Structures are given as C-alpha cells and as structure tokens.
C-alpha cells in the first residue's frame, strides 16, 4: 500500500496537547482508525467531541486509508450549532474517579457535594475498571491513561492549581448549577445524613456538647460533622470556588 498523508486540524483547547500547533500532518503506510491517528498526535479520545473527515461527521472506529483532511473539535460552546447530533462526548456525568495525584481537587469536588471515588495508591487498571464498570468519568493528568480504548468518559486536568482544576471540571461537565455543598463526606465520599445529638453524644468534645445541636453523620465511615470552627474554613473555600466560577462564566460570555 502506498503511503498517504492525513492532515489533522485541531480546534478549541485541544491545542493544549499540541503546543499550540493547530495543524498536524501524519504520513501513514497502512489503514488506521481515526482514534489511533488522533491519539498518535497526543490527544486522548476522551477530549474529542466531534470528528469531521473531509467535512463529514465520523466516529472513532472509522478508518482512513487515503489522503484525508480531518477536523477534530473539543467540547465547547459550538456543541449546540455544529453537528450536535454527532457529538462524541457527554456532559451529563455526575460521578467521577480520580487518580492519586489529584487529592486536593477531590476534596474540593466532594465539598461541593459531587460523587468522587479516590484511592491515593490505586493502580491504573483499578481506575479504568471503576470508571467503566460504574460509568464514571476518570479525572487525571496522565494522558496515556485516557487513551485506553476501554475508557468511555474522562478528562485531562490542565492546571496544576487546585482551584483552577476544580473550575475546569465544573465547566467541562456543566456542573455550575445543582451543586450541594456539605452533603458528602470529605474522607470517604459517602452521603451525610442528619443525626440526633443523642446518638453521637459520647463522641463529642466537652465544648461541642455544650454549644452545638445540629449534627450529620457519614453513612460510610461514620464520621460526625457539625458547624464548628473548621466549618468557617470550608465555607470560605466554597465561596472562593463560586467566585472563580462566576469569573469563568463572565469571561465565557464576553469572549
């Protein structure tokens, strides 16, 4: 088979993976799937929302075997107007699994009430199994991990700064509304339930017994929560995230 060239044009923030290069040309000697050609450029398939091959919508499994022009689009505001019925990603994900390097992001997301599984020492195969078995999106900064064909949903976290990471995930999965802060355990991820003071009285410090009446208990690990001095710090973090979300929304509206 004669060699042929595939010319790929990347749109939106997919250029993040390409050092800002908008166009990549690859010379191939055999028929290859669109997924393989795109990922050979360094872009995980979980970041790709729309593929046009010579102007027509395509799927990851479609094969190229001749000179081809491919347009590759990220998840962005064009979803509603540019081939909406052929979009490859979903934004309707509300549960996640995160790799061991994203502990601070996990704490923020749980603080907002989001369901995020996290085990600092979990191996790649465990993360992939959890994501696929439970329909969770995998959050990671390991792009190779996102290229596993078994993985349906995932997101490569761009920033190394926890606040920016949190806003990224909220934006990508359109989670700015419907959040429920302080409804999930920060330690084990299980939902919190109101509990009568008498049921946890023997676990409270002397001053806590005197000054607080409302408590919640984790249905998983049993940890007890109340609005003590630590609550002020958590509330401040929630407000910081909300302010960053508002700035993000305003920038998107004016750009």
Domain boundaries, the chain: 4-84, 95-181
Please tell me the distance from the alpha carbon of residue 137 to that of residue 35, in angstroms, as a whole number.
Answer: 19
pTM above 0.95, yes or no: no
The angle that helices 229-254 and 103-111 make with each other, rounded to 10 degrees, is: 90
**Rounded Cα–Cα distance for residues 9 and 33 (Å):** 16
Q: Is the pLDDT of residue 220 over 90?
A: yes
* Rounded Cα gap, residues 16 and 24, in angstroms: 13
Q: What is the mean pLDDT of the segment spanning 211-219?
A: 94
Per-chain mean pLDDT for the chain: 94
pLDDT value at position 19?
A: 83
To 5 degrees, how large is the angle CA 76–CA 77–CA 82?
Answer: 95
Classify each residue of 80-103 as buried b or exposed e, where b means 16 or more C-beta atoms within 10 Å of its C-beta. Answer: eebeeeebbbeeebeebbbbeebe
* pLDDT score at 77: 65
Domain 4-84 matching CATH 3.40.50.10420: the answer reads no
Question: What are the Cα distances from residue 144, in Å, to 17, 41, 194?
Answer: 12, 12, 42
Instruction: Give yes or no for a contact between 184 and 113, defined as CB atoms under 8 angstroms apart.
Output: yes
pLDDT digits (tens, 9 = 90+) for 137-176: 999 999 999 999 999 999 999 999 999 999 999 999 999 8
> Which residue is listed with tokens 């996990």?
106
Is pLDDT larger for residue 20 or for residue 228?
Answer: 228
Give the pLDDT confidence of 106-143 residue by residue, as tens digits.
999 999 999 999 999 999 999 999 999 999 999 999 99
CB-CB contact of 32 with 3 (8 Å): no
pLDDT digits over 181-208, tens only?
999 999 999 999 999 999 999 999 999 9
Would you state the pLDDT for residue 227? Answer: 92
Q: Tell me, what's the pLDDT at 68?
A: 96
pLDDT digits (tens, 9 = 90+) for 85-112: 999 999 889 999 999 999 999 999 999 9
Split at pLDDT 50, 70, 90, the class of 255 is: low
């Amino acid at each position: 088979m004669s060699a042929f060239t595939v010319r790929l044009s990347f749109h939106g923030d997919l250029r993040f993976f390409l050092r800002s290069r908008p166009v990549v040309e690859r010379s191939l000697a055999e028929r290859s799937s669109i997924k393989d050609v795109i990922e050979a450029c360094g872009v995980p398939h979980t970041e790709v929302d729309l593929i046009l091959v010579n102007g027509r919508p395509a799927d990851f499994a479609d094969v190229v075997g001749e000179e081809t022009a491919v347009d590759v689009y990220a998840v962005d505001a064009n979803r509603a107007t540019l081939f909406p019925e052929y979009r490859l990603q979903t934004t309707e994900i509300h549960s996640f699994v995160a790799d061991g390097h994203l502990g601070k992001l996990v704490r923020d997301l749980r603080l907002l009430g989001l369901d995020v599984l996290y085990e600092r020492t979990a191996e790649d195969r465990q993360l992939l199994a959890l994501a696929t078995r439970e329909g969770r999106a995998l959050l990671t900064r390991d792009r190779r991990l996102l290229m596993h064909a078994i993985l349906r949903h995932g997101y490569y976290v761009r920033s190394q700064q926890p606040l920016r990471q949190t806003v990224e995930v909220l934006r990508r999965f359109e989670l700015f509304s419907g959040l429920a802060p302080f409804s999930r355990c920060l330690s084990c991820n299980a939902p919190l339930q109101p509990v009568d003071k008498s049921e946890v009285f023997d676990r409270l410090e002397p001053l806590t017994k005197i000054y607080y009446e409302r408590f919640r208990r984790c249905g998983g690990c049993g940890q007890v929560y109340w609005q003590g001095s630590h609550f002020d710090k958590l509330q401040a973090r929630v407000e910081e995230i909300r302010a960053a979300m508002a700035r993000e929304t305003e920038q998107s509206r004016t750009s």
